């Protein structure tokens, strides 16, 4: 299920950067990637030509708009938009898999065997991925007499 979630998050981020982070419930990164993508789009894309073309009401008009976009957009703008979408897809996939930035794997408490995040020891399940946890067995005391 985690792999499916990661693939879905990556796919959503390719369509609209930030959408995959919404799936993972990482709101700050979602706003960051969406804002960055929309800012670069507003700065580099020929918005005046697209607004002059009017609304899209058929498939032929949509194809014509895409053709105008491809012809009028320079290589640098295409690179920036593609890079942002690709970086957002990779980041959301790694976040969905449970890899957090920083690489810290050492935690003070116990971690979930499925997702690797820190868990509350009072619960019988992981509150991050809902994996049922086995109760911790108390260590047998040995008397050294």
Low-confidence ranges of the chain (pLDDT < 50): none
Structure pTM?
0.59
Q: What angle do CA 64, 76, 72 make, to 5 degrees?
A: 25
Task: Single out the residue of 46, 67, 44 nearest to residue 56, CA to CA.
Answer: 67
**Residue 33: per-residue pLDDT:** 92
Cβ–Cβ under 8 Å, residues 2 and 129:
yes
- In a 10 Å sphere around its CB, with 0-12 CB exposed, 13-18 middle and 19+ buried, how is residue 4 labelled? exposed
In this prediction, residue 126 carries a pLDDT of 86
pLDDT tens for each residue of 11-33: 888 888 988 888 888 889 899 99
The confidence score (pLDDT) of residue 139 equals 57
Q: Where are the domains of the chain?
A: 1-97, 109-139
* Predicted local distance difference test score (pLDDT) of residue 36: 92
Compute the mean pLDDT over every residue in the chain, rounded to the nearest whole number.
Answer: 79
- How far is Cα 26 from Cα 7, in angstroms, rounded to an integer? 16
40 touches 74 (CB < 8 A): no
């Amino acid at each position: 299920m985690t792999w499916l979630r990661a693939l879905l998050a990556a796919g959503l981020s390719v369509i609209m950067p930030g959408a995959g982070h919404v799936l993972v419930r990482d709101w700050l990164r979602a706003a960051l990637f969406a804002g960055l993508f929309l800012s670069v789009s507003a700065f580099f894309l020929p918005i005046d030509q697209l607004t002059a073309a009017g609304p899209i009401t058929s498939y032929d008009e949509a194809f014509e708009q895409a053709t105008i976009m491809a012809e009028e957009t320079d290589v640098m703008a295409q690179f920036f938009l593609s890079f942002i979408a690709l970086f957002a897809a990779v980041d959301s996939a790694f976040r969905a898999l449970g890899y957090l930035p920083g690489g810290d794997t050492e935690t003070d408490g116990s971690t979930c065997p499925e997702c690797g995040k820190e868990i509350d020891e009072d619960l019988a399940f992981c509150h991050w991925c809902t994996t049922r946890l086995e109760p911790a067995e108390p260590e047998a005391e040995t008397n050294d007499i």
